[in-house]
Structure 1
Amino acid sequence: MRSAAAGPHCEQGLYALALTGRGDDAVGRPEKPIPDPVNPLGILAVSLRNGRRDAGFSYAVLSERTRSISPGTLQRAASGAVLPRLEVAQAFARACGMDVAEVTRLWHAAYQGSLGGRAAGRARKPEPRPDLVNDLSGLCAALEELRQANGAPSFRMMERRARDAGKDLSRSTAFRISRGTAPASTDGLEAFLVACQVPPRERTVWFDAWLRAQRQVVRARQDADGREDLKQIEAVVSDTSRGQVSQEAAVRMLRKAGFDAMERYRRFDAPWTVECLQCAATLRIRLSDVVLARASCPDCPMLTEHVREAWAELLTNPSGLLSRQLVRALRAVTVLPARLQRDHLGVPVFVADRATLRILQSSAWHAALEEVLRRHIRRPFYLDVLLVHDYDTMAAPRNGQRLRRLAKAAGLVDSPLESSPRVQGQGRVNSSASNEAVSGREAATASGSARTAATAPVSWKPTSNSGA
């Protein structure tokens, strides 16, 4: 043991002995000089030698205190020629009463400086980045990098560390994880992290990486199942012997769904540039979504909403040019969903009685409607006002009943509801309003026949109602 008279000068002498290699162990053999005492590996060796000499232990006594490490292994750890395993350096420090955290820091510096005991000329491996992990292979690669950064402990040592912490990690499991088999659960992942001496506060990022990788596996499985399902669906609707949809059949399906093709059809599940027949918006959809009734135009509801807002504003007579009679007639009708095809905006209006029809056949209110539409629809269009009516069941019973059934199928209501007005910003519009008088037996339209206006798609529903 060191005498009580030992002081700072004696410690400096011990450091000098460690550098020159003139210090002796308990059996009188001098230790070899440290090859390079100023590099990180040499600094670690100097620290271990000084700690042993301060404690006054021989390597044999030190081996007894560590209980599991041989004297030769301990002596090589302080030789400065090879990098010891991290657990050896930590056991050396604990047996000598040294600062284990400081020795651990010196070991990591030595590991980075010697690249894990490999030649210094080789490229340095990157630090493990669990925050960049997206799949299971990346997770396994990051875990192996973590193991290497921890000193590449043996799988037996990892098993012992996990067992000491109350975790279950066999040598074979640790080996499979390091070779690319991802942990099956978070418990297995935590056991591996414990074996790599990852502090609890640093394990959360690894758990997040494991969850991301598992979600990616689920998505890949779902995508594979979805592709198989789409193949079966395409085989059902296909018109060729190969079980695929032809160009002509694809265009027919597309037009039936309310779209027009802007490019050639490529594949059942490939994006396809189309144009909405309702509002002329351009979008990309898949034929598989069309077949499964999952394709819809996002602009059509916006157009309907804009027309509804414009009609609600029209009922407030903002310009003051509409007579009371016209305002009452406008409040008594129901506006159907508008249709913007190319640059023609068709606004169908359902009229429930003959008197209202006679009032609205005048085009005096078209300019006011155009003015409010200009503030809500910000794209050029020509305005077509379409009057659809259903009243003449006495003069033409069969035709009147048919129009009534069509009106009900379009979702018309018996008593319109009041709408609240809302005004938006100005927009530039080119409009041309036209309206033709119709006889008492046929429906009135501004740019088409009563047959065309009354046979609106059954999916139409009234978008703006105004009560008297």
Structure 2
Amino acid sequence: MGRPENPIPDPTSPLGRLAVALRNGRRDASLSYVELSDRTRFISPGTLQRAASGTHLPRWEVAQAFARVCGMDAEEVARLWQAAYRSTPGRRSGSSSKPPEPRPDRIEDLKDFGPALEELRQANGAPSFRMMQSRARATGRELSRSTAYRISTGQQPPASAECVEAFLVACEVPPRERTAWLDAWRQAQWRAARQEAGRREEMRQLESVVAGNIRGQVSQETAVWMLRKAGFEALERFRRFDAPWSVECLECAATLRLRLSDIVLVRATCPECPTLTARVREAWAELVTNRSGLLSRQHVRALRAAAVLQPRLHRGHLDVPVFVADRPTLNTLQSADWHPALEEALRRHVRRPFYLDVLLVPDDTTSSRQSGLRHRRLAKAAGLIDGPLESVPPRRDVEHTNGAVQADGAAQRVATAVQNNTVRPAPDIRIPWKPTSNSGA
């Protein structure tokens, strides 16, 4: 036989009445606290004993598990727990004063309604969502547990006045206080309707300016053209100016939904493109360290002398342009022997399937005079030379003649020819960049 329990400090208080009910329920079930803990499966004997001590307010889950295992009336235990919850001073903040009651007159829009109703639920005993559903059904109203949860967490505002009233009934709000909450909801709904009407009117005026026709509506051809100018391609037919549209990014082939109005207002961007360059750069830094050991020393030296430029992922093909500043590096990297090591490093950072295509962009001094200038002009037109990720100065091959160090003869002859105007640089014509790949078929 176990040691007798300590007497309840105040059996007539709300907390004391809850403790008396729990002790009587355990005695009627003829269970010890250890046996009670085994049947609840997640509550320790000490926690159950403190719940029935009359000195601590147990958690809602503990009181419900206590009542369920002992075969007690769950509604009666819930009523006693809520009364004890209301009478417990400083139950939330640890102070001796109760938290301020929520006021519906402070609600300005629908997004404030959920937090205000959650404060109301906490101030009225924090009933569980299951109990709220039961209370609403007992009065002939419908309030599912999922709806009550989404309203309390602010995921969605109440959809109707009936939903608001069911929530208030579930929180046991007196009828005379429900009118203020219903009036606050109608005011917030009216403000939301006015804001939505104003936004639609702004979108209508913007569409009429963009369309430039009598109807004032953007056509399918105009919408697709604007979409491609923004760097996207349509995956479905255009519906409305302000309707979500399934599109594909032309740079990284990511699928997303956006509105044509966001494109016009320059608010539509691809979330995948900014991260692609950073991930390829991380893979390149890992490659030059040769962690896998797949590269020879000659390849490692060549890769450290080169610089990876802005990559492009288009319809599953990952183009990695590599800027080469000298001829020995170009000759070493012309071979595709180092591509498997790069692909292995890329697959650890780029979390999408791709076909690797390495593109060598030589400097103007690494090839012949005309082809070198053309390669550099094409790379600059593609936006690759302006902002490389790594700044690698071009190397100079030197030769020793009679103890004197002279610059490379070919580069010196080119510089002299340009000074004497015997070689005129080609005009800077911006042609689409279509370099050949050295990665094979």
TM-score between the two structures when normalised by the length of structure 2: 0.46
TM-score between the two structures when normalised by the length of structure 1: 0.44
Computing the radius of gyration over CA atoms, which structure comes out larger, 1 or 2?
1
Higher relative contact order (Cα pairs below 8 Å, separated by 6+ residues): 1
